Structures are given as structure tokens and as C-alpha cells.
Amino acid sequence: MTTKHSDGFLLWPSKQPNPKKQNYFASRDIVGELTDAVKEEGLQMGFYYCTAWDWTFNLNPIKDAQSFLENYINPPEYTDYVNTHIYELIENYGPMILWADMGYPPGTNLLELFAYFYNRQPLGVINDRWKQLDPEKKKFSKLIHYDFLTPEYEISKKIKKRKWETCRGIGTSFGYNRFETEEDYLSGKELIHMFADIVSKNGNLLLNIGPQANGKIPELQKKVLLELGEWLNSNGEAIFETRPWRFAEGITREGLQVRFTHKNEILYAIILGKPQNDIIVIKNIGVNNVLNVELLGYKGKIEWDLKEEDLLISFPKKIIDSSAVSFKISL
């Protein structure tokens, strides 16, 4: 969750209040309440904190490349302010993910901060946005450590060895934008296809949800999320706890894109779209021996045949429309 963004407003009652604006924090401990609710469901919590920028400390508007860099230059008290918050969030709420943004204020020993985090959360991870700006040289330091990459609104064309996580909104904004319409949002089908593609290439999807001022998730965003959730109810096995296959992409004889994942001795083939033919041919799946084929979400028996490395599957006629179908291939 976002604990503080560039506007500087805090979503928890910090012992280090904003020195530039009085009472500039939520009246409730939103960070604490949401963290407790997430952990009660058996999930882990991650915190985003806009580390480099805070427009209550730096009032200069960003108009060009020069003013962009100038937004990184803050008084020394800002470094202490951020450090106090990061240590406080780690100690009080126990996040498993630390997600910095835009860089980190100079004058901080980041290795010491990272050690503090890992000593409390040995399985925790941090992202790759911790570079520090040298105000005199106007250059960023070399990134000394990170656990995963964070491209923004980008998709990888191939499997990456290093873990990566693309971040984006359902629309074009990070947050609620009342001027966005349904045309600006991903459709459920687009989101499902994107998600399968990302996972097949060793990536995660960090999808920003922007609630309205009253805390409600907009109906257009909710619609897309529910479509993804419904699809995962039947197809989640092909996504969760999987790893990339030898290659990520494939294609059927009728031209539908395929994305591959696997776990143990199971290969999953996710077809991006609903096949129209009675016989599906997934070309070159990369194996010459298959023990069984199942269709996730379907209880009936699936007829299949393997010819060289092409997998032929009889597709059941009584399958409701789906944005993508997933086959479980036992090897």
C-alpha cells in the first residue's frame, strides 16, 4: 500500500510528524488497520513510500529536466525525516516488501538500513529505486543492492533471469482519476492476457487500485478486478507458485497465442482466447512425452495426442466463454 506519496500526506500517525504542515496525516492508522486485515487473511504486506520527493519540503514545480533534478534537492532535515519513517514502518508494522520511489535522500547508509530490514524480515525483499543523488555533481550513485526490478507500464519480450515486477494502474493513472472513462481502463480480457504473459516471463504484476475520496473502489476498476478474480478461481493453478518454462511463448495452429508456466512435473499451457475449433494444436511444446492432459475448471476427460512435439487436444464444446483457457499437462 502507499504509505506516503509525493504530496507528503501520511497514512499512519507517525511519531515524526511533518514539520512543514501541521496534522498532515490520516486521523486513523490506515497503514496499521490494513496491515492487520491483510495478515489475518494469511497474506504478506508491502509498503510503498515516496522516498526522494515530498512537495511539502520542496515547492518547486516540475517543468523540465532541470526542475526535475531540483526536486531531489531537499534540506538535510528531510533525510532524517524519511529515515525515521522507514525505520518506524519496519519496526511497527513488519512489511515484507519495501518499495522506494524516485531514489533516496543522500547522507544515508543504505546498507545499514537494508540490514535492519532483513534482520527483522529474513524473507523480505526490496525494489530497485534507491539511487541517491549527489547534489554537487548532479549524478545518481550506483545502485548497491535490490531484489527485483520495477519497470513501469512495460512488458518484457522474453524471460528474465532476474525477478521483475511491472507496475501500472488499471488505467493511465496511479490513483483515482475522475476524468478517466472505461476506454482508458484495461478490459478484463486485456488484464488476464497481460498477467499470464508477465508470469510466463518470470515477472509479477503490481496493479495500482485508486480508491475515491470516500475510500470506495470505483465501479469500473472493480469490474476489471472481479473478472480477473473469477478467471483465477479456475485457472490460478497455472499462475500461482509456478516458474517459467524453457520458453514463454507459443502458438496454436489456428493462430492463438500461448503462454507457458510450470511447476514440478507439470507444464501449463495458457491459451490467450477461447479456441473455436474442435481440435486444438499447440505447436512445439518442447517435450516428446506426455502422461495426461486436463483442462483447468473442467471436470470431464480430455482426449489428446502428441505428435512429435505438437500437442493435439479435443476441446470440449460445453465450455463457457473465457478470456483464456489453461491446460494442465502432466509430464
Domain(s) of CATH 3.20.20.80: residues in the chain: 2-238
Per-residue pLDDT tens over the stretch 135-150: 777 788 889 999 999 9
Q: Is 302:294 a contact under the CB 8 Å cutoff?
A: yes
For all residues of the chain together, what is the average pLDDT?
A: 93
Compute the distance between CA of residue 255 and CA of residue 275 in angstroms, rounded to an integer: 10
- Region 261-265 average pLDDT: 95
pLDDT at 280: 93
Cell 497455472 appears where?
Answer: 238
**Over residues 83-100, mean pLDDT:** 98
pLDDT band at 170 (very low <50, low <70, confident <90, very high): very high
More confident residue, 264 or 317: 264
Q: What is the DSSP letter of 5?
A: -
Contacts 24+ apart (CB under 8 A), 4-8: 4/49, 4/50, 4/54, 4/85, 5/48, 5/50, 6/50, 6/53, 6/54, 6/55, 7/55, 7/56, 8/54, 8/55, 8/56, 8/57
- Domain 243-330 homologous superfamily, CATH: Golgi alpha-mannosidase II (2.60.40.1180)
At 120, which helix (H) or strand (E)? helix 110-120
Just give the CATH number of 2-238. 3.20.20.80
Query: Considering the chain, what percentage of its residues have pLDDT values greater than 90?
Result: 79
* Mean pLDDT of the region 63-73: 83
With cut-offs at 50, 70 and 90, classify the pLDDT of residue 319.
confident
Residues of CATH 2.60.40.1180 domain(s) within the chain?
243-330
Q: What are phi and psi of 309, to 5 degrees?
A: -115, 15
Residue 2 has pLDDT above 80, yes or no: yes
pLDDT tens for residues 243-257? 999 999 999 998 999
**Digit-coded pLDDT (tens) for 6-60:** 999 999 999 999 999 999 999 999 999 999 999 999 999 999 999 999 999 988 8
pLDDT of residue 138: 79
pLDDT of 321 higher than 80: no
Calpha distance 79→24 (Å, rounded): 18
Task: Give the pLDDT confidence of 218-233 residue by residue, as tens digits.
Answer: 999 999 999 999 999 9
Instruction: Report the percent of the chain where pLDDT is more than 70.
Output: 100
